[in-house]
């Protein structure tokens, strides 16, 4: 990490840190006072998004329904499949809480980041001790991608939107599989809510065609 001068904040983003067992200790050794921002979304939607990304690169892979179960007849979900295991947030958070207090962590709702990006960014700026410079005037919703785009209100430059790898429509998944996955994740979600002190209300989503049905 580059040196940070007074009045500066250095930021780095790597999604895999949160689910990498060795990351908390290594980051704590490097900078124990670091502030951590974790973006989470409904783990069922997240798993389908993960699959959608892989499918775009490897169209020959089995269907989501096949990969999600060890035995579908018996309803045995394959929690070792990375697309599903990543969404067991409570499991990963336990590792981080061994090294960092919750006061150094901020959890961003992926769902609210889409519908109210300015509101979520206000919380992030408060967490980092920054003035609320980024506001609703910096965003507009791109209907084609299904995500907000960032713009500079002081000029007419082209808005910055997510790249081609984002905004793909998710494949249609068997509703029964969606229900089984919601049931599988529910106890882990409840544990995560308790650990973070936040209720992300993922249980309110009954199917895979929610507002987060794009990756």
75 is in an annotated binding site: no
Residue 167: pLDDT band by 50, 70, 90 thresholds? low
Q: Is pLDDT at 134 greater than 60 in this prediction?
A: yes
Encode pLDDT of 35-61 as tens digits.
Answer: 999 999 999 999 999 999 999 999 999
The response to whether 170 counts as a known ligand-binding position is yes
pLDDT of residue 48: 97
Residue 138 and residue 159 in contact, taking contact as beta carbons nearer than 8 Å: no
Summarised one tens digit per residue, pLDDT across range 100-126 is 999 999 999 999 999 999 999 999 999
41 among annotated binding-site residues: yes
What is the percentage of the chain residues whose pLDDT exceeds 70?
Answer: 88
For 172, half-sphere exposure in the C-beta direction (CA atoms, 13 angstrom radius) is: 1
**All domains of the chain, ordered by start, with CATH?**
17-132+185-196 (3.40.50.300)
User: Which pLDDT score is estimated for 178?
Assistant: 96
CA distances from 51 to 3, 40, 46, 118 (A): 37, 16, 9, 29
Confirm or deny that 138 is annotated as ligand binding: no
> Binding residue per annotation — 106?
no
Going by pLDDT thresholds of 50, 70 and 90, the confidence category of residue 162 is low
pTM (2 d.p.)? 0.86
């Amino acid at each position: 990490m580059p040196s940070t001068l007074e009045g500066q904040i250095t930021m780095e983003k790597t999604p895999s840190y949160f689910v990498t067992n060795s990351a908390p200790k290594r980051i704590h050794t490097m900078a124990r006072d670091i502030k951590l921002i974790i973006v989470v979304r409904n783990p069922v939607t997240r798993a389908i998004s993960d699959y959608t990304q892989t499918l775009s690169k490897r169209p020959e892979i089995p269907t989501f329904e096949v990969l999600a179960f060890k035995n579908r007849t018996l309803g045995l979900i394959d929690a070792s499949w990375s697309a599903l295991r990543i969404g067991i947030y409570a499991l990963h958070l336990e590792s981080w809480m061994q090294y960092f207090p919750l006061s150094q962590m901020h959890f961003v709702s992926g769902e609210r980041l889409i519908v109210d990006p300015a509101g979520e960014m206000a919380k992030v700026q408060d967490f980092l001790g920054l003035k609320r410079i980024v506001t609703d005037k910096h965003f507009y919703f791109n209907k084609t991608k299904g995500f907000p785009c960032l713009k500079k209100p002081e000029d007419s430059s082209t808005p910055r939107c997510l790249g081609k790898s984002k905004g793909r429509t998710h494949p249609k998944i068997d509703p029964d599989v969606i229900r089984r996955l919601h049931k599988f994740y529910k106890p882990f979600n409840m544990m995560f809510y308790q650990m973070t002190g936040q209720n992300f209300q993922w249980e309110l989503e009954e199917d895979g065609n929610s507002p987060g049905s794009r990756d």
